[in-house]
Amino acid sequence: MKYIDFPTLGRRPSSEFVVGGIIDPEPAELDGISPGEWVFNRDSIPMRRTEWWYHTPTQLWFLVERHTATDEVFGATLAGAAIDG
Amino acid sequence: MSIRLLKYAFIEDWAEPRFFNTPDELRDSYDVVIIGAGGHGLATAYYLAREHGITNVAVLDQSYIGGGNTGRNTTIIRSNYLTEEGVKFYDQSVELFKSLSEELDLNIFYSERGHFTLAHSDATLRTARWRAEVNKHYGVDSEVVGPDDILKACPQIQLDCGGNHEILGALYHAPGAVARHDAVAWGYAKRASEAGIEIHQHTEVTGIDVAGGRVVGVTTPRGKIQAGAVVSAVAGFTPTVLSMVGLSSPIEIFPLQACVTEPIKPWLDTIIVSGSLHLYVSQSSRGEMVMGASLDPMELHSRRSTFEFVSNLADQLLDMFPFLSQVNVNRQWAGMADMTPDFAPVMGTTPVGGFYVDAGWGTWGFKATPISGKTMAATVANARDDELITDFNLSRFGDYELVGEKGAAAVGH
Ligand SMILES: Cc1cc2nc3c(=O)[nH]c(=O)nc-3n(C[C@H](O)[C@H](O)[C@H](O)COP(=O)(O)OP(=O)(O)OC[C@H]3O[C@@H](n4cnc5c(N)ncnc54)[C@H](O)[C@@H]3O)c2cc1C
């Protein structure tokens, strides 16, 4: 099992998280792309990128930087204090 | 030992011709370049030659033939899908599979086993009934059966599954089958090669040249090649190849793992799938238990396999078949599954002229190998989507016309 250091949580196994995918541009930034293409299309080429990760036990969202060819994780930050209301 | 084998021991010149003979040099130009010598690429090549007389074709693979998902899958063939488009399409594939050994002049060990999709809850039983009705409507042999019928076909199964997931019934699909995946790839390669098609292994496509909205050729480390049409049949590498022509798609790559045990005496005749337990199992003609689960949880472009996979799988499997605790796992591996949001493929023409895509085969594309080859060949030959695949065009996402096959493809590959 892969263990990753998270702010607030400490060291947690990756199995406690649901990955919400890459951070997309906002619809307002769309340029020449139809809404359907924005909804569905993904650039799933191997790369280092920032993803949404959801921690199921605490219901906290994190931003995790990961390489999708090697599965290497470079760091995690808590996603916006605005979320915990 | 067969007499034939013994005979070869005494013959100096190897009498059996090689499976395919490809010249060392690439030509400067081909009518059609197919990227990817998996089952789909090779079948497309074969049907281009056989049904359309197009033989100035090269199939290029970055590695060796069948080394992608074609040689990594668990070979389940079935047509008990959920949508009209899916049922019609896969049914034609099953029909082609039935006579494929004769057609390719190679035994692909096609073996009809019957296929049980177990239901451990009322909700799954409802989906099973829905699928059975859709299947019957299109003439596909599927029915909902009860625990007694399951026990009759597989007396070793523990119907209470350790007490947590009692089996309430199943969708039974009599035509469900398995076959030898390598033989399918090699058989198509052999026949395509006999027709004059070239298969170049260890030839990676690193770029695709487009001029005036049309493909004109491809770039490889062995040089540039001109091409009238280019077909991408690269499964887990599709997003990378699409990016070479500036196309986006919803396809995301997730690892899918599988494993086999040491060979044991034949005891399991049928194919058993359980969506709730994330598990499916069949027994190969060599006696190995062939087993798999659902996708790994995160996008990853890698074929590494993990200990969690086998340990989770064993945990679930032993609830159903406790006696297998005595059996050792021999090998495990992974493939890169090209997943679509609706669990249906992406096939046919694209906005780039002369560029065709055959992808989105995720965890379910082996069974589609013959019909994909046939319909892609027709699509390339006529420069127009074959009517069986129009609903699978890449444009369906932008148009919100998804196919909705998840209910029949999530775990049962
Ligand atoms: C573990 C596992 C179990 C499965 N079980 C089943 C099952 O039971 N039933 C079922 O129907 N399906 C199953 N599948 C799915 C099935 O294996 C695939 O959908 C199918 O084999 C895809 O075939 P293909 O020819 O399109 O792709 P592949 O066989 O993957 O061929 C693609 C080829 O393209 C080559 N390539 C990639 N990029 C390039 C490039 N740039 N230049 C040149 N060549 C390139 C690769 O080297 C590869 O050989 C399973 C898959 C996996 C991984």
Segments making up each domain of chain A, as ranges = 3-22+44-84
A-chain residue closest to B401, CA distance: A36
Q: Do B251 and A69 touch (CB under 8 A)?
A: no
**Is this model's pTM higher than 0.90 or not?**
yes
How much distance in Å is there from the Cα of B394 to the middle of ligand 1? 19
Instruction: Specify the 3-state DSSP secondary structure of A36.
Output: helix
**To 5 degrees, how large is the angle CA B131–CA B132–CA B138?**
90
Pocket of ligand 1 (CB under 6 A): B 35-41, 60-63, 67-70, 72-76, 204-205, 233-237, 241, 256-258, 292, 335, 337, 361, 363-367, 413
Pairing of strands B355-359, B223-232: parallel
SS (H, E, C) chain B: CCHHHHHHHHCCCCCCCCCCCCCCCCCCEEEEEEECCCHHHHHHHHHHHHHHCCCCEEEECCCCCCCCHHHCCCCEECCCCCCHHHHHHHHHHHHHHHCHHHHHCCCCCCEECCEEEEECCHHHHHHHHHHHHHHHHCCCCCEEECHHHHHHHCCCCCCCHHHCCCCCEEEEECCCEECCHHHHHHHHHHHHHHCCCEEECCCCCCEEEEECCEEEEEEECCEEEEEEEEEECCHHHHHHHHHHCCCCECCEEEEEEEEEECCCCCCCCCEEEECCCCEEEEECCCCCEEEECCCCCCCCCCCCCCHHHHHHHHHHHHHHCHHHHHCCEEEEEEEEEEECCCCCCEEEECCCECEEEEECCCCCCHHHHHHHHHHHHHHHHHCCCCCCCHHHCHHHCCCCCCCCCHHHHCCCC
Are residues B253 and A41, on separate chains, in Cβ contact within 8 Å?
Answer: no
Contact A19 B299 (CB under 8 A): yes
Minimum Cα–Cα distance from A22: chain B residue: B299
Query: Which ligand 1 atom minimizes the distance to the CA of B368?
Result: 11
Within an 8 Å CB–CB cutoff, is residue B382 touching chain A? Answer: no
Closest atom of ligand 1 to CA, residue B240:
41
Sign of CA dihedral B247, B248, B254, B259: negative
Q: Each residue of A7-36: pLDDT tens digit?
A: 999 999 999 999 998 887 677 667 777 888
CA distance A32 to A11: 42
ipTM: 0.90
User: 3-state class of A75 per DSSP?
Assistant: strand
- B5's CB contacts (< 8 A; 6+ apart) are none
Q: Which atom of ligand 1 is nearest to the CA of B205?
A: 42
Please state, in angstroms and rounded to a whole number, the distance separating the CA atoms of residues B314 and B398.
41
Residue with tokens 């994330």: B278
Q: Considering CB atoms only, which of A34, A39, A46 is closest to B301?
A: A46
With CA atoms as reference, the chain A residue closest to B339 would be A44
Retrieve residue B140's tokens: 């596909």
CA-nearest of A46, A51, A6 to B255 is A46
List per-residue pLDDT tens for chain B, 413 residues long.
567 677 777 777 766 778 888 889 999 999 999 999 999 999 999 999 999 999 999 999 999 999 999 999 999 999 999 999 999 999 999 999 999 999 999 999 999 999 999 999 999 999 999 999 999 999 999 999 999 999 999 999 999 998 989 999 999 999 999 999 999 999 999 999 999 999 999 999 999 999 999 999 999 999 999 999 999 999 999 999 999 999 999 999 999 999 999 999 999 999 999 988 999 999 999 999 999 999 999 999 999 999 999 999 999 999 999 999 999 999 999 999 999 999 999 999 999 999 999 999 999 999 999 999 999 999 999 999 999 999 999 999 998 888 888 767 766 67
Distance from B63 to chain A by nearest Cα, in Å?
Answer: 18
